[in-house]
Amino acid sequence: MKTIADLEKIKSEIRKIDGILLGLDMEERWGDKSEKAVQKRNKAIEKYESQSQKLEKKLLDEVKSLRKENSSLLQAWARAHIELLEDFIERHEKDHERYQTELSVARREIESWTQFAQGTIENVPQNTFYVQYDQNKFKKIFGEEIK
């Protein structure tokens, strides 16, 4: 790992899979309950959970290695996320009543990224359902190819 974009690429893959798993969860709750559909869905859930676990382990291994070798890279990655979260808060603060949950989630994520930068936690779960970064700013920080 040489850049924060390298770390973010792994995190991005995890977010994509989490989105798929969320969709499968909703389908499980409200979708087709036929035996064939349930079997197909369960197989997909198993596949994506396995992929997610592998990526989470890969990211955790990278973080542990970087804590020893290049902790400033981890701090820069955390600062980038904090900057994006602060931007999210600034854009939604004026309509606090409407975005109360979203703002609360963003503030908790800032706390988590701060702890991550300090080395007290090794991973920051993200809630992309409630918090969406400004994509132009995200691409400026992490590059065009990462979403």
147 is a domain residue: no
Please tell me the predicted confidence (pLDDT) of residue 58: 97
Q: How confident is the model at residue 102, as a pLDDT? A: 97
Question: Does 42 reside within a domain?
Answer: yes
Q: Which domain holds residue 48?
A: 4-142
Overall domain count for the chain: 1
55 within some domain = yes
Task: Please tell me the predicted confidence (pLDDT) of residue 119.
Answer: 95
Return the pLDDT at 146.
73
In the chain, which residues have pLDDT < 70?
1, 147
- CB 116, CB 124: distance < 8 Å: yes
Q: Is 129 a domain residue?
A: yes
Q: Which residue pairs, CB below 8 angstroms and at least 24 apart, start in 57-64? A: 58/10, 59/7, 59/10, 59/11, 59/14, 59/123, 60/122, 60/123, 62/1, 62/7, 62/10, 63/7, 63/122, 63/123, 64/122
Domain-located, residue 47: yes
Residue 122 in any domain: the answer is yes
